[in-house]
Protein backbone atom coordinates (compact mmCIF):
# COMPACT_ATOMS: atom_id res chain seq x y z
CA UNK A 1 0.00 0.00 0.00
CA UNK A 2 1.36 3.38 -0.92
CA UNK A 3 1.93 6.12 1.62
CA UNK A 4 -0.74 8.27 -0.07
CA UNK A 5 -3.34 5.51 0.21
CA UNK A 6 -2.38 4.88 3.81
CA UNK A 7 -2.75 8.58 4.66
CA UNK A 8 -6.12 8.75 2.92
CA UNK A 9 -7.35 5.71 4.83
CA UNK A 10 -6.15 7.17 8.14
CA UNK A 11 -7.83 10.50 7.37
CA UNK A 12 -11.09 8.75 6.50
CA UNK A 13 -10.91 6.72 9.70
CA UNK A 14 -10.31 9.89 11.74
CA UNK A 15 -13.24 11.64 10.04
CA UNK A 16 -15.44 8.63 10.74
CA UNK A 17 -14.43 8.58 14.41
CA UNK A 18 -15.24 12.30 14.69
CA UNK A 19 -18.65 11.75 13.11
CA UNK A 20 -19.37 8.86 15.47
CA UNK A 21 -18.40 11.02 18.47
CA UNK A 22 -20.64 13.85 17.25
CA UNK A 23 -23.53 11.42 16.82
CA UNK A 24 -22.94 9.97 20.28
CA UNK A 25 -22.84 13.42 21.83
CA UNK A 26 -26.08 14.39 20.08
CA UNK A 27 -27.79 11.25 21.40
CA UNK A 28 -26.47 11.87 24.92
CA UNK A 29 -27.64 15.51 24.92
CA UNK A 30 -31.11 14.50 23.71
CA UNK A 31 -31.23 11.78 26.38
CA UNK A 32 -30.33 14.28 29.10
CA UNK A 33 -32.88 16.81 27.86
CA UNK A 34 -35.56 14.12 27.81
CA UNK A 35 -34.62 12.98 31.32
CA UNK A 36 -34.98 16.52 32.67
CA UNK A 37 -38.28 17.10 30.85
CA UNK A 38 -39.73 13.77 32.01
CA UNK A 39 -38.71 14.50 35.62
CA UNK A 40 -40.54 17.82 35.39
CA UNK A 41 -43.62 16.07 34.02
CA UNK A 42 -43.49 13.51 36.85
CA UNK A 43 -43.50 16.37 39.36
CA UNK A 44 -46.41 18.00 37.56
CA UNK A 45 -48.32 14.71 37.54
CA UNK A 46 -47.83 14.22 41.26
CA UNK A 47 -48.80 17.80 42.07
CA UNK A 48 -51.77 17.56 39.69
CA UNK A 49 -53.00 14.36 41.30
CA UNK A 50 -52.83 15.99 44.72
CA UNK A 51 -54.62 19.08 43.40
CA UNK A 52 -57.44 17.14 41.70
CA UNK A 53 -56.25 17.80 38.14
CA UNK A 54 -58.54 16.13 35.60
CA UNK A 55 -57.65 12.62 34.47
CA UNK A 56 -57.19 13.56 30.82
CA UNK A 57 -54.54 16.16 31.68
CA UNK A 58 -52.76 13.71 33.99
CA UNK A 59 -52.92 11.01 31.32
CA UNK A 60 -51.51 13.31 28.64
CA UNK A 61 -48.65 14.34 30.93
CA UNK A 62 -47.92 10.68 31.65
CA UNK A 63 -48.03 9.82 27.95
CA UNK A 64 -45.65 12.70 27.19
CA UNK A 65 -43.26 11.58 29.94
CA UNK A 66 -43.29 8.01 28.61
CA UNK A 67 -42.71 9.33 25.12
CA UNK A 68 -39.67 11.29 26.31
CA UNK A 69 -38.20 8.41 28.31
CA UNK A 70 -38.48 6.06 25.34
CA UNK A 71 -37.47 8.75 22.82
CA UNK A 72 -40.62 7.97 20.87
CA UNK A 73 -42.49 11.17 20.03
CA UNK A 74 -44.80 9.21 17.73
CA UNK A 75 -46.36 7.49 20.76
CA UNK A 76 -47.49 10.81 22.24
CA UNK A 77 -48.76 12.05 18.89
CA UNK A 78 -50.79 8.86 18.44
CA UNK A 79 -52.35 9.27 21.89
CA UNK A 80 -53.33 12.88 21.21
CA UNK A 81 -54.74 11.95 17.78
CA UNK A 82 -56.73 9.06 19.24
CA UNK A 83 -58.24 11.25 21.94
CA UNK A 84 -59.14 13.92 19.40
CA UNK A 85 -60.86 11.32 17.20
CA UNK A 86 -62.85 10.17 20.25
CA UNK A 87 -63.90 13.73 20.85
CA UNK A 88 -62.05 13.99 24.16
Q: What is the dihedral of CA 79, 82, 84, 86, to 10 degrees?
A: -140
Determine contact, residues 42/65, Cβ cutoff 8 Å: yes
Quickly count: other Cβ atoms within 10 Å of residue 78's Cβ. 13
Is the pLDDT reported for residue 2 higher than 70? no
* pLDDT tens-digit series, residues 30-50: 999 999 999 999 999 999 999
Give the predicted TM-score (pTM) of the model.
Answer: 0.76
Q: Is 88 exposed, middle or buried (0-12, 13-18, 19+ CB in 10 A)?
A: exposed
pLDDT at position 3: 64
* pLDDT tens-digit series, residues 3-18: 666 776 777 778 888 8
pLDDT band at 56 (very low <50, low <70, confident <90, very high): very high
The Cα–Cα gap between 80 and 83 comes to: 5
Q: For the chain, what are the domain ranges?
A: 22-86
CA Rg value for the chain: 22
Amino acid sequence: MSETNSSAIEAAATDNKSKVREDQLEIYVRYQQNAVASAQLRREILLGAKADMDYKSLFLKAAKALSLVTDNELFYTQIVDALERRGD
